[in-house]
Amino acid sequence: IRQTHFLLSELLAPYHGIWQKYFKFVDGLLHKLSDWTRYRLSRAIKVLLLITLLAVILGAIYKETPVRALFFAPKALWSALPMLGQLLFAVFFVVIQFAAIFWFLSRGGVDTYFPDDIRTRFSDVWGQDHVLNRIRENLVFLENPESIEKHGGYVPGGILLWGPPGTGKTLMAESMAGETGKPFVFVDPGAFTNMFMGVGVLKVKSLFRKLRKLALRYGGVVVFFDEADSLGNRGIVSGGGQNRNTAMAKSEIFESTCHGGNYLSKNTAALLARNAFVMGGAGGNGGGGMGTLQALLTELSGLKKPRGFINRIVRRTLGMRPKNPPKYRILVVMATNMPEALDEALLRPGRIDRMYRVGYPSKAGRVRTYEGYFAKVSHSLSALEIDKLATITPYATGATIKDLINEALIMAIRNGRTNIMWSDVLRAKQLKELGPAEDVEYIERERHAVAVHEACHAVMAHLTRRHMEIDLATIEKGSDYLGMVASIPPDDQFTRWRTEYESDILVSLASLAGERMFFKGDNSSGVSGDLESATTVAALMEGQWGMGSTVSSYASSRRMDLGAPGGSKKDDSSKEMKRALADRIEDNLSSLLAKAEVILRDNRSKVLAVAHALEIHKTLSGDDVVAVIEGKAGTIADGRLYLIDENIVAIEAYHDAAVAAHAGHKTPDIEIPRFHQV
């Protein structure tokens, strides 16, 4: 019939014209319908045609009308089945049960929210305006794809949001769906993890089948893959990694010591952790299971492929070209804090077209975030105090800010108030950053030693470090430290200089220099963490950052087997290179240690003053530490007391008694002096 139709169309122009007008008329009617309606209509017509064809065939077989044949066929079929057929049916029934189990297992881990369910808007996302401005572009194209397609471009189909945890990546994805009025499909991190091989692949196919239907029905859909690194990587990824933020704190030599890494700036501490960091990962075929990642890659690339059995198989069998699928408006959003763990094929253009870093908010962003969350509670903080709070929490994220304010509210309620005060915020900040102090008391000579140790750090930091300010100092024992001096950057800074790294090393070495100076050449094992920090920074300065006595890079020299930087190649170049580098590092550290000793010797009274204030108050804010060092009035510590000669003599006498007690392992002969306020 088809060939006859083509022959008549070629020979008879009027016949061809009639059919052209007919097809044009039908296409005009269909294009007045939405993609979703056309899809459902064509599906219903196909089902009716199949049922009609089956009815006609059955009617011819059973000599009945087509309608009666449809109802007569099942009964006739069952009565005609022999025992073997019934056994085959039983086997088929068992197979259907397994298929049902797999279908059931492939349903979990995906939550769908419809437009009326989503209340989140861009106005609810604070501190990330630079990312939101870029995301708005994607939504414009999702709502009006012709604005770019008519110029020869295409709508970006994928966005990767990467950055530290808690910076608002999930909230942004939710706000996208809220702004566009499209359905929002949330894919759990463990959605594709199953005990049976192949279930993950079924889940991927089921997910994208649902997405295509939603896209046709609502004109678009937003799908969000949370913790996308759980999808895995087809490459080889080494396991057993550890968290960068805790790599130093969990080191054996950091235990039973002061918090050595805490005296460094956040960037410097991250470099030390990264130096020993080995990334963990799912490895192999990925955390989603065998073939899951490959199935996801195929689906992301196959949104323009012809769909349907009749369209792909039947039409090709009849020699007809399959119809192109409708344009599915699917915006794929992924979030991760480990972008290096993602498969490169997943990040190629066409799958993930845009990658945005959702980093720590700037100070202005933190202020806006604090204002947003404080507006939801009762508080008495002024705009100046909120600005200061944003300054002293330089790496706060939306999640940590929300948690901090909630903890401050809990402390206010604990004290019988519902109004948050500045003191509540400071206590909440200390609790969240340091954890609860252990309920232990140092013996007097050990308390004095810890106080002197921390005072050396504090005085050195105040005198030599300009890129950081002291946030607090404490000698209250925590879970993994005996005491600490925490510092914060006063401004958002993105470059680091040699003088800043040297001041970091001076602050680290101050504990060793101070203990030797104040305890007659003796020092505790508590300096181990400080020495590790100082040595690592000095090694990077000397070997990689061009801040030492040579220009060439140790990393490149080792990789290219060039020998020791600054010298000719030796027979054992690797050993010679390491020895030369170690010598230069030791020279640099020795020079800085000598400098630290001079600074502390010149400021002996200030160190003992800060140590005395720490022994009295246990914990001091940064402002109070500065007040003691500069001899000014502070919030809880009055630095003017330490300018009085008789008080200075009393502190020296107590220190001498503590040193003698340390040498004899006994209690100091005199108690710590206490002074009246000026």
pLDDT of res. 311? 66
pLDDT higher than threshold 60 for residue 301? yes
pLDDT higher than threshold 80 for residue 263? no
pLDDT of res. 652? 93
Mean local confidence (pLDDT), 391-417:
91
Most confidently modeled range among 114-118, 307-311, 566-570, 610-614: 610-614
Average pLDDT value over all residues in the chain: 80
Do 334 and 468 sit in the same domain of this protein? Answer: no
How crowded is the C-beta side of 252, counted as CA atoms within 13 Å?
Answer: 0
CATH number at residue 403: 1.10.8.60
Mean local confidence (pLDDT), 261-268:
56
pLDDT higher than threshold 90 for residue 121? no
Q: What is the pLDDT of residues 160-203, one digit of tens each?
A: 999 888 888 888 888 888 888 888 899 888 777 766 676 778 88
CA–CA dist 166, 404 (Å, integer): 13
pLDDT of res. 216? 86
Most confidently modeled range among 99-103, 525-529, 543-547: 525-529
* Residue located via tokens 């235990």: 255
492 located within any domain? yes
Do 200 and 85 sit in the same domain of this protein? Answer: no
pLDDT of res. 219? 83
pLDDT higher than threshold 50 for residue 456? yes
CA 550 to chain centre: 37
219 located within any domain? yes
Mean local confidence (pLDDT), 563-568:
54
Mean local confidence (pLDDT), 14-24:
85
Please state which of the ranges 112-116, 385-389, 449-453 shows the lowest mean pLDDT. Answer: 112-116
Q: Please count the helices (runs of H) and the strands (runs of E) in the chain.
A: 25, 9
pLDDT higher than threshold 80 for residue 69? yes
Mean local confidence (pLDDT), 480-500:
82
CA–CA dist 318, 671 (Å, integer): 102
* Residue located via tokens 């029934």: 93
pLDDT of res. 285? 41
127 located within any domain? yes
DSSP string, 250-304: TSGGGTTS--GGGGS-HHHHHHHHHHT-------TT-TT-TTHHHHHHHHHH-TT
Q: How far is CA 263 from CA 142, 266, 506, 629, in A?
A: 48, 9, 10, 18
pLDDT of res. 614? 93
pLDDT of res. 421? 93
Mean local confidence (pLDDT), 91-108:
73
CB-based contacts of 540, cutoff 8 Å, min separation 6: 271, 275
DSSP string, 52-98: HHHHHHHHHHHTS-HHHHHHHHHHHHHHH--HHHHHHHHHHHHHHHH
186 located within any domain? yes
Do 160 and 95 sit in the same domain of this protein? Answer: no
How crowded is the C-beta side of 427, counted as CA atoms within 13 Å?
Answer: 14
pLDDT of res. 450? 93
pLDDT of res. 326? 74
Residue 508 in contact with residue 487, Cβ under 8 Å?
no
159's enclosing H/E stretch is strand 158-162
572 located within any domain? no
Do 405 and 516 sit in the same domain of this protein? Answer: no
pLDDT of res. 71? 82
pLDDT of res. 563? 59
The three-state (H, E, C) secondary structure of 434-467, written as one string: HCCCCCCCCCHHHHHHHHHHHHHHHHHHHHHCCC
Q: In what order do the strands lie in the sheet with 184-187?
A: 110-113, 184-187, 221-225, 330-336, 158-162, 354-357
Do 216 and 295 sit in the same domain of this protein? Answer: yes
Do 290 and 390 sit in the same domain of this protein? Answer: no
**Banded model confidence at residue 2, pLDDT cuts 50, 70, 90:** confident
pLDDT of res. 511? 93
Mean local confidence (pLDDT), 146-158:
80
pLDDT higher than threshold 60 for residue 444? yes
Do 304 and 174 sit in the same domain of this protein? Answer: yes
Do 63 and 145 sit in the same domain of this protein? Answer: no
Q: Which residues pair with 112 in a beta bridge?
A: 185
pLDDT of res. 4? 84
**Banded model confidence at residue 575, pLDDT cuts 50, 70, 90:** low
Do 145 and 20 sit in the same domain of this protein? Answer: no
345 located within any domain? yes
Residue scoring higher pLDDT (280 or 521)? 521
Do 456 and 604 sit in the same domain of this protein? Answer: yes
From 308, 337, 425, 407, select the one nearest 43 (Cα to Cα). 308
How crowded is the C-beta side of 316, counted as CA atoms within 13 Å?
Answer: 8
This prediction has a pTM of 0.64
The first and second tokens of residue 269, run together, are 């501490």
CATH number at residue 502: 1.20.58.760
Do 402 and 284 sit in the same domain of this protein? Answer: no
CATH number at residue 346: 3.40.50.300
Among the three residues 327, 357, 387, which one is the final residue of a domain in this structure?
357
pLDDT of res. 309? 65
pLDDT of res. 502? 93
Do 156 and 181 sit in the same domain of this protein? Answer: yes
pLDDT of res. 548? 82
CA–CA dist 670, 651 (Å, integer): 11
Residue scoring higher pLDDT (565 or 10)? 10
Residue scoring higher pLDDT (98 or 247)? 98
Residue scoring higher pLDDT (247 or 44)? 44
The first and second tokens of residue 666, run together, are 């006994």
50 located within any domain? yes
* Residue located via tokens 């939405």: 34
How crowded is the C-beta side of 597, counted as CA atoms within 13 Å?
Answer: 14
pLDDT of res. 109? 76
pLDDT of res. 457? 95
Share of the chain above pLDDT 90, in %: 24
Among the three residues 357, 387, 404, which one is the final residue of a domain in this structure?
357
Mean local confidence (pLDDT), 283-301:
65
Q: How many domains are there within the chain?
A: 4
484 located within any domain? yes
CA–CA dist 429, 622 (Å, integer): 13
Q: How far is CA 148 from CA 142, 177, 550, in A?
A: 10, 21, 53
pLDDT higher than threshold 70 for residue 305? no
Domain holding 162, by residue range, is: 110-241+278-357
Among the three residues 357, 376, 398, which one is the final residue of a domain in this structure?
357
Mean local confidence (pLDDT), 550-567:
66
The first and second tokens of residue 324, run together, are 């192109």
Q: Which residues pair with 356 in a beta bridge?
A: 161
